[in-house]
């Protein structure tokens, strides 16, 4: 007998543009760290909806806010002031370094990166960007121009600006690449999609000095690493570097599409009215959702919890890797953005698929890196059994 999934998959095969890979599960609802599929099976979500559901799926406070705001005002235009947007500016600026004084809201991470690139061009008058190999910054043409992953750029090579990429963590290479044409060096403090690589000590500081000397901006892409994910509000706090521009997304809306770019007053002074905009920029529904996400993170102490729980999960992964040196290596990451190399590439390729049968959603990125980025408030009674089921599969 066919399942609801079979029916959904058959319908989709007829109508959906086939540009994304799918796993054979149709998710119909989520609550906390768990989701349920169309055939009633439950899964623990160790992907956090791709690092997005910071306060869990359908957190009651978030659902209530969205319902209330939807009943009040969903949309207006950039011509008018709205209070949810203003509240979000103030709230967000309250948790980032003081030097960042201005925000602008868009709907996705890639758009935030485009905004950041535009700011860098306006502030410097320059046209070249330097970023890192294995980086990921989104899929718009602007963001693609700074993605250090050939597989994403290759299909669009001919319509994307030529980028300059240097190895992540390599300051000498950055020094050689940054010159008088460089508008900005763009970097993730923790590379996410590229394999969970934490910036080595001194790297961001070094980049700060190099960009300042060259009159270029330092843009930190915190779309994956921000909003408490690494056990600090922003991952940049581990190095206390103050960038010129920071981008945020994912966890900011907790599942409601919203992203942001933030900048210093010096950068803000270089833009003019009309330089940027967007039908949904600062959409009141999205801003109200993000305000509630930030409030819940604050009230529930989720940043500190993420640091503490993440350290224990990392230690668990490190013990696993030490006990099984032919299967896994190099547990790493910060907070609840954790990774570990899987040494059997074939087994890694099927791990997410096999985990489904064990009731766990888990991600393998960069081919062979097990990545964990669950909800910041994932209950431990969900987390540990799901993680151990995945680790068993690594050995199977
Ligand atoms: C570091 C980073 N930057 C940018 C993006 C793009 O965000 P979006 O998919 O919302 O456009 C992502 C998405 O995974 C990301 O991890």
pLDDT at 163: 87
Query: Looking at domain 60-299, which of 1.20.120.450, 2.20.25.90, 3.40.640.10, 1.20.1050.90 is its CATH number?
Result: 3.40.640.10
110 lines ligand 1 (CB under 6 A): yes
As averages over each run of 10 residues, the pLDDT of the chain (396 residues) reads 90 96 96 98 97 98 98 96 98 97 98 98 98 98 96 94 95 98 98 98 98 98 98 96 97 98 98 95 98 98 98 98 98 98 97 98 98 98 98 96
371 lines ligand 1 (CB under 6 A): no
Reported for 137-141, long-range contacts at CB under 8 A and 24+ positions apart, including other chains, are 137/109, 137/110, 137/113, 137/186, 137/188, 137/221, 137/223, 138/108, 138/109, 138/110, 138/111, 138/112, 138/113, 138/114, 138/223, 139/110, 140/110, 140/111, 140/113, 140/114
Place of tokens 């910060």: 334
pLDDT at 377: 98
pLDDT at 1: 56
Cα 181 to ligand 1 centroid, rounded to whole Å? 26
% helix / strand / coil in the chain, to the nearest 5? 40, 20, 40
222 lines ligand 1 (CB under 6 A): no
252 lines ligand 1 (CB under 6 A): no
168 lines ligand 1 (CB under 6 A): no
Among 106, 114, 138, residue to substitute to test ligand 1 (most atoms within 8 Å of Cβ): 138
Cα 94 to ligand 1 centroid, rounded to whole Å? 23
Report d(CA 78, CA 57) in Å as an integer: 30
Contact between residue 38 and residue 8 where contact means Cβ atoms under 8 Å apart: yes
Which phi-psi region, left, alpha or beta, contains residue 69 (left: φ > 0; alpha: ψ -120 to 50)? alpha
Report d(CA 366, CA 284) in Å as an integer: 36
For 243-282, letters b (16+ CB in 10 Å) and e give bbbbbbbbbbbbbbbbbbbbbbeebbeebeeeebeeebbb
Predicted structure pTM score: 0.98
Report d(CA 377, CA 120) in Å as an integer: 35
Listed by start position, the domains of the chain span 60-299, 301-339
138 lines ligand 1 (CB under 6 A): yes
C-alpha atoms less than 13 angstroms from C-alpha of 367 in its C-beta half-sphere: 7
Among candidate residues 42, 70, 72, 111, the one with its CA nearest the CA of residue 278: 111
244 lines ligand 1 (CB under 6 A): no
């Amino acid at each position: 007998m066919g399942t609801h999934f079979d029916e959904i998959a058959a319908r989709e095969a007829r109508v959906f543009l086939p540009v994304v890979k799918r796993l054979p599960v149709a998710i119909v609802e989520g609550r906390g760290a768990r989701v349920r599929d169309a055939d009633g099976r439950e899964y623990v979500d160790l992907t956090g909806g791709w690092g997005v559901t910071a306060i869990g799926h359908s957190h009651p406070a978030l659902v209530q806010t969205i319902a209330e705001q939807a009943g009040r005002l969903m949309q207006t235009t950039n011509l008018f002031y709205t209070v949810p947007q203003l509240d979000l500016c103030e709230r967000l600026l309250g948790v980032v370094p003081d030097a960042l004084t201005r925000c602008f809201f868009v709907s996705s991470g890639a758009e935030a990166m485009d905004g950041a690139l535009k700011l860098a061009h306006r502030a410097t008058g320059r046209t070249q960007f330097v970023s890192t190999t294995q980086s990921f910054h989104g899929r718009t043409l602007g963001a693609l121009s700074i993605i250090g992953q050939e597989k994403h750029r290759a299909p669009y090579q001919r319509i994307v600006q030529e980028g300059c990429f240097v190895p992540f963590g390599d300051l000498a290479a950055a020094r050689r690449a940054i010159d008088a044409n460089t508008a900005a060096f763009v970097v993730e403090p923790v590379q996410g999609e590229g394999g969970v690589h934490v910036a080595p000590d001194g790297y961001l500081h070094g980049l700060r000095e190099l960009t300042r000397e060259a009159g270029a901006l330092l843009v930190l892409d915190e779309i994956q690493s921000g909003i408490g994910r690494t056990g600090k509000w922003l991952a940049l706090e581990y190095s206390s570097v103050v960038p010129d521009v920071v981008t945020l997304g994912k966890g900011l809306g907790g599942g409601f599409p919203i992203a942001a770019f933030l900048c210093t007053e010096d950068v803000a002074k270089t833009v003019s009215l009309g330089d940027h905009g967007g039908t949904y920029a600062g959409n009141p529904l999205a801003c109200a959702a993000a305000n509630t996400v930030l409030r819940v993170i604050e009230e529930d102490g989720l940043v500190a919890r993420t640091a503490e729980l993440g350290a224990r999960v990392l230690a668990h992964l490190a013990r696993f890797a030490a006990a099984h040196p032919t299967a896994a290596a190099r547990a790493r990451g910060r907070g609840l953005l954790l990774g570990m190399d899987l040494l059997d590439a074939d087994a890694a390729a099927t791990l997410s698929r096999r985990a489904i049968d064990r009731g766990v959603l888990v991600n393998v990125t960069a081919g062979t890196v097990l990545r964990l980025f669950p909800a910041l408030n994932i209950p431990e009674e969900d987390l540990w059994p799901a993680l151990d089921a995945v680790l068993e599969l690594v050995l199977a």
